[in-house]
Structure 1
Amino acid sequence: MNAEMVLYERRGDIALVTLNDLNRRNALSREIVRGVSAALQRAMDQGVRAVVIAANGPAFCAGANIDDLRDGWMERPAAEEDPALMFKRIAEFERPVIAAVHGPALGGGMELTLACDLVVAGEAAWFSMPELGHGVIPNTGVALLPRVVGSRRAFDLILTRRRVPADEALDFGLVNRVVPSHAVLDSALSLAAQVVEAVPPGAMKAAKLNLRAHAAVDWERVVESPLDVPKTEWQEGLDAFMQKRTPDYDRFWRGNTTTLQGKGD
């Protein structure tokens, strides 16, 4: 595990996993994906009862690292570096996983919270899925978000890419608690302790297994879905983001124009 990008510590029976790439606002990178996956394995090996995922710096997670998106993530990344498979590990983890979100959670950061079982958010936190504007899709988000907020709201958040503040996220069911920003981590740790208090591990595992089974996710489709996006479109979107310019998507719309003619034409 990369000890710089992802920190791991024990808080009694709780494992605290902290994103720690402040220079990139904890954007999901190959290093962070490997680090979080390794931390989950370490937590299981140590027999912890729950995991809290938090972050250092002003942002919880600024989404996917653009350099990694441009360099292979849109086209079959290695399994140990695939964010979708990391989200799957979180969602299917045998112990409760709680996100402690103190600041913005964008794109992959919001998907990370969706993969967790519970979310504690600070008053300054907000959530957004800006992917379509960059010519990519939130492949895990399109699978998990409708199960959390319903299909209409999922379409709204994915298509409009708007910011959702913490209080609205609570109304939507995106988060379970909203607390003062300074109290996010302590509140998440306290909730984790409350959840696992006087509960045996087998029953906890069975509860999580069946909760997920009744809202099953096609993870194979999630992993493959980035390939549905035309390469020229995501290349333009990501290049524009890096070059700090407005992407030129009009040419793609012109290329897809279809003229419908009636029988009498």
Structure 2
Amino acid sequence: MSGNKVLYERRGEIALVTLNDPDRRNALSREIVRGLSEALDTALGEGTRAVVIAANGSAFCAGANIDDLRNGWMECPDPAEDPAVMFRRIAEFDRPVIAAVHGAAVGGGMELTLACDLVVAAEAAWFSMPELGHGVIPNTGLALLSRVVGTRKAFELILTRRRVSSVESLDMGLVNRIAPNDELTESALSLAGQIVESVPPGALKAARLNLRAHMAIDWGRVLSSPLDVPRNEWQEGLDAFTEKRAPDYGRFWAEIKENRGTRVLQSIEGE
């Protein structure tokens, strides 16, 4: 699927979908987004009962592909290649979706886990949303994170951008269970099997549908919210990341101060 950047296999009644771009730490490139969507189509077509999303390499998913962000994703993404559209597809999928997370789940990788129903994490897994430091926003995370961990904790994780270990993630509800690193995938597959082995498909779908309905998400807002970020800010953040330097955000704060001073002066002169 999509150049073998996403692998698909059947494990009995469960579909195992594996991110397979370890050299780029499984960053959410256009190719991986398309591959994940194709895998979901295949899982439905084959009548699988649940989906487990895992990954090869040192990281589960290192977030959005920076080159793709700079080349259109921030302003006019193709819906077939838009991570937020794919996240919505997972959240509203007809079957349970479980993430099996090892290593880093960063930015879009953490958003991917939030879109899933359940998360099994390896002992070495960790999570972070560093987007604000790059001048962008975790648009799907802004919609989903507070529903998982609560508003105060969501503010903390998004604003501080700190790393969260698997143990802390379990404590705050980001993950459902922790498995030894070498048993992660089998543990997620086993959990999926326990869920679907003795329930009918219609009731399972209805339960997921109504649970999601009671915590309704404004997906239109999710898709449009990257446009709320000023272009010059995200360009500076992404350029700095690519050039391996610290971003210069001081000038943007200075512009706000200067503009406010100008408005005050105009107000005084107009009196």
Specify the TM-score bucket, using the shorter chain as the normaliser. Answer: over 0.9
Does 1:153 pair with 2:153?
yes
Q: State the SS of the aligned residue for 1:240.
A: helix
The answer for the alignment partner of 2:189 in structure 1 is 189
Question: What are the superposed Cα offsets for residues 141-187 of structure 1, whole Å, 9 maximum, x if unpaired?
Answer: 00000000000000000000000000000000000001111111010
Corresponding residue number in structure 2 for 1:248: 248
Query: 1:37 offset after TM fit, Å?
Result: 0.4
Distance 1:3 1:147 in 2: 35
Aligned AA for 1:250? G
Once the two structures are superposed, residues 241-260 of structure 1 have per-residue CA deviations (whole angstroms, 9 ceiling, x without a partner) of 00000000000011112349
The residue that corresponds to 1:203 in the other structure is 203
Verify: 1:140 aligned to 2:140, yes or no: yes
Q: Does 1:176 align with 2:176?
A: yes
Q: How far is 1:25 from its partner?
A: 0.3
Gaps of 5+ in 1: none
Report the AA paired with residue 130 of structure 2. P
Counterpart of 1:82, as a letter, is D
Q: Report the Cα distance in structure 2 between the residues aligned to 1:90 and 1:110, rounded to whole angstroms.
A: 14
Q: Between Structure 1 and Structure 2, which shows a larger proportion of helix residues?
A: 2
Query: What displacement does 1:3 show?
Result: 4.3
Other-structure match for 1:105: 105
Secondary structure of the corresponding residue to residue 246 of structure 2? coil
In structure 2, the residue matched to 1:223 is: 223
The CA deviation string for residues 43-84 of structure 1, in whole angstroms up to 9 with x for no partner, is 001100000000000100000000000000001200100000
**Aligned equivalent of 1:8:** 8
Query: Are 1:18 and 2:18 matched, yes or no?
Result: yes
Partner of 2:76: 76
Distance 1:165 1:247 in 2: 27
Name the % identity: 73
CA distance in 1, matches of 2:199, 2:50: 11
What is the alpha-carbon distance in structure 2 between the residues aligned to residue 66 and residue 239 of structure 1? 9
How far off its partner does 1:4 sit? 1.3
Give the match's secondary structure for 2:136. Answer: coil
Residue 184 of structure 1 aligns with an amino acid whose one-letter code is L
Aligned equivalents of 1:108, 1:102: Cα separation in 2: 15
Structure 2 residue identity aligned to 1:118: L
**2:58 paired with 1:58:** yes
Give, in whole Å, the separation in 1 of the partners of 2:152 and 2:59: 28
Number of equivalent positions: 264
Residue 157 of structure 2 aligns to a residue whose secondary structure is: helix
Which TM-score applies when normalising by structure 1? Answer: 0.97
Q: What is the one-letter code of the residue matched to 1:89?
A: R
The aligned amino acid for 2:159 is L
Q: Equivalent residue for 1:116?
A: 116
Distance (Å, rounded) in 2 between the aligned partners of 1:131 and 1:41: 30
What is the CA–CA distance in structure 2 between the aligned matches of 1:23 and 1:122, rounded to whole Å?
20
CA distance in 2, matches of 1:126, 1:170: 11
User: What value does the CA root-mean-square deviation take over the aligned residues?
Assistant: 1.4
SS in 2 for 1:10: strand
**2:91 alignment counterpart:** 91
Distance 1:169 1:124 in 2: 12
CA distance in 2, matches of 1:106, 1:48: 28
Larger Rg computed on CA atoms: 2
Cα deviation for residue 228 of structure 1 reads 0.4
Which residue identity is paired with 1:11? R
- Cα distance in 2 for residues equivalent to 1:158 and 1:48: 35
* Consecutive unaligned residues in structure 2, runs of 5 or more: none
Aligned-pair CA distance for 1:103: 1.0
Consecutive aligned runs of 4 or more in structure 1 exceeding 6 Å deviation: none
